[in-house]
Structure 1
Amino acid sequence: MSISPEKEKDVAQRMARLGISEDDLRETFIRSSGPGGQNVNKTATCVYLVHLPTGLSVKCQQDRSQTVNRLLARRLLLDRIERLKTGRIAAEKARIEKIRRQKRRRSQRAQEKVLELKHRQSERKKLREKVGTEDA
């Protein structure tokens, strides 16, 4: 079973975009398990792919064909690396945005609202005072 050149090109473009080269990957082939009959028992169709810089690994045995499993393993690995990189970037952006919000001045309307709430609270507290006893 062969893979279309468009799919191979798509994976190559994603690898280039993420800055991953084939030298960063270690690929080994293992015998698959499960359905597939004699083909699975005789040939090593399971693909085990490791991205050496990050240590992420993927094992793929979805298809009886080794070439299809190679493509699928690369896709899975690229998804994981992408998630890892965008997760870090998103977390850093969120942290910076939180600090920016904390440092930002309140608007005039917001300040007035806060003061109004404080005044109401102080009025409530005044009502809690003990009632004075009159000496007659």
Structure 2
Amino acid sequence: MKIDIRTEILFQTARSGGKGGQNVNKVETMVEGRWKVADSVFFTEEEKALILERLSNRITDDGYLLVKSQSERSQLGNKDEVIRKITQLITTSLIKRKIRKPTQPSKAAKEKRLESKKKHTRNKEQRRKINKNDYL
């Protein structure tokens, strides 16, 4: 499922810290991307609810998914990085989780466990001190 949500992302730039030499002080290379989940035309209401639930820690009170990037030296590179991060977050949040099927231990496994407990008990009994009155 390849969806291009570039048209729905609002970009904002700011001066970035880190590497870049004199560029850091002059050029706004840090890019912040905001995507309004509720206003998206690419997803159904169920998918939007799933995204809101699974990405709740990254979504603001206004309903925007907020992603920043300042790892690249250019604004364009950071913009591409924001788009990549947002699409990755969305696709991973939409993956259906497998439902765990509860299972019971097999009869052989139960017997093996009980047998190992009995063996452990015998080993501990053999470590006890011998009482003289038991042999008289």
TM-score normalised per structure 2: 0.49
TM-score normalised per structure 1: 0.49
Query: Which gives a bigger RCO, structure 1 or 2 (Cα 8 Å, sep 6+)?
Result: 2
Report the structure number with the largest CA radius of gyration.
1
